[in-house]
Amino acid sequence: MKRVVMTTFLLLCALAAPLPGSAQSASEHVNWGRWSFDYEVRDNTGLALRQVTYDGELVLGKASMPVLRVKYVKERVWWNPFTWFGSRADSGRCGPFQDRLRWQDLVPIVNCADNKVCVESSTLNGIKWLELGIYARIGEYHIYQSWHFSEDGELRPVVQSRGLSCNTDHVHHPYWRFDFDINGNGMDQVFVRDDGAPDKGWGPGWTKYTNERNDVKHPSTHRTWFVRDQLTGHGVWILPGDGYAPLKDDGERDSFADHDVAIRRAKPDEDVPWVFGARGQLGYDEDNQGVQEQDVVLWYIAHLPHMAALGPTKWLTLGPTLKVHR
């Protein structure tokens, strides 16, 4: 497999150089520049990070991607026998799917010494970056999941996908789970900021979330989210992705995946593989618990449209940006 060059980012830049000991194991510790973290591939949650620190301060307890839900325009429906007949190629019907990346799905990456987990450094526009990635094959899909760390405090989770299970338009919905633990004291606060919004006591445009909730992007107000430690004020911005060509952004929600962000109080029994099935929306908010000065989880859901006319070999890429704030 040849990894894809992002025209607006850095996958395999000309200056890329493998770090010593590119990994073959399912878990390992990495120290790179101002970043330190453990990674793992287990429990059907893709390439996950644990104990992520920047400048020696804890930022994330865990970051993972438990599922990519896939919805085709035409699908086989259990209650409608007329959708059962004919092959996928003939009917154009398939899905929905819940794709979860497992160690056994991984393929050795040819231009990374045949490692299943590739760790490489590069320089882009004078900024040093570290890329950590895995390449999986699930049915007809080729999926490359990666994390990109910059020396100046950005963390970019990225998904690339190609392949067609049916020759029909469809959308991939990756679900990233960010368990923030800023400064490690369990006193996180969650804010949202909208340009032009009134002052609700936290400054113009700012709103503090007090309870678990689902949220959506507002491009017209440049909506962004901010999770910070109540004691130090240190935090992380969560910014919607600008998109990687030919996509322009992280896509638009739909009835199949009807929100972009979900705020939850962190609970150990919710740090598990995806349990809601291919058709199920994200839950865990039944009791609407408070999230003020708590250990919080922010889910980010993107929406990657794949037009069948692009064919099975066109790579499509998206993902948000997390930016450390001091």
Indicate if the pLDDT at residue 3 is higher than 50. Answer: no
Indicate if the pLDDT at residue 286 is higher than 90. Answer: no
C-alpha span between 298 and 177 (Å, rounded): 6
Q: Percent of the chain scored above 90 by pLDDT?
A: 76
| Backbone φ and ψ of 221, nearest 5° | -110, 10
The correct answer on CATH 2.70.98.20 for the domain covering 17-184+239-325 is yes
Structure tokens at 227: 């999770």
pLDDT for the residue 287: 83
The DSSP-derived string for 111-159 is: GGTTBSEEEEEEEETTEEEEEEEEEEEETTEEEEEEEEEETTSEEEEEE
Q: What does pLDDT average to over the chain?
A: 88
C-alpha span between 259 and 319 (Å, rounded): 15
CA distances from residue 30 to 21, 51, 113 in whole angstroms, order as listed: 11, 11, 18
The DSSP-derived string for 12-71 is: T-TT-EEPTT---SSEEEEEETTEEEEEEE-TTS-EEEEEEEETTEEEEEEEEEEEEEEE
Choice between 84 and 185, residue whose per-residue pLDDT is larger: 185
pLDDT for the residue 79: 43
Q: Percent of the chain scored above 70 by pLDDT?
A: 87
Q: CA 223, 220, 283, 292 torsion: positive or negative?
A: positive
**How do residues 36-72 score in pLDDT, each as one tens digit?**
999 999 888 899 999 999 999 999 999 999 999 999 9
pLDDT for the residue 243: 78
Q: Is the pTM of this model over 0.85?
A: yes
Indicate if the pLDDT at residue 5 is higher than 50. Answer: no
Mean pLDDT calculated for residue range 73-89 = 53
C-alpha span between 170 and 308 (Å, rounded): 8
**How do residues 236-267 score in pLDDT, each as one tens digit?**
999 999 878 889 899 999 999 999 999 999 99
Q: 96: cis peptide before it, omega within 30°?
A: yes
Quick count: other Cβ atoms within 10 Å of Cβ 113?
A: 11
Structure tokens at 299: 């889910």
Q: Give the residue extent of every domain in the chain.
A: 17-184+239-325
Indicate if the pLDDT at residue 94 is higher than 90. Answer: no
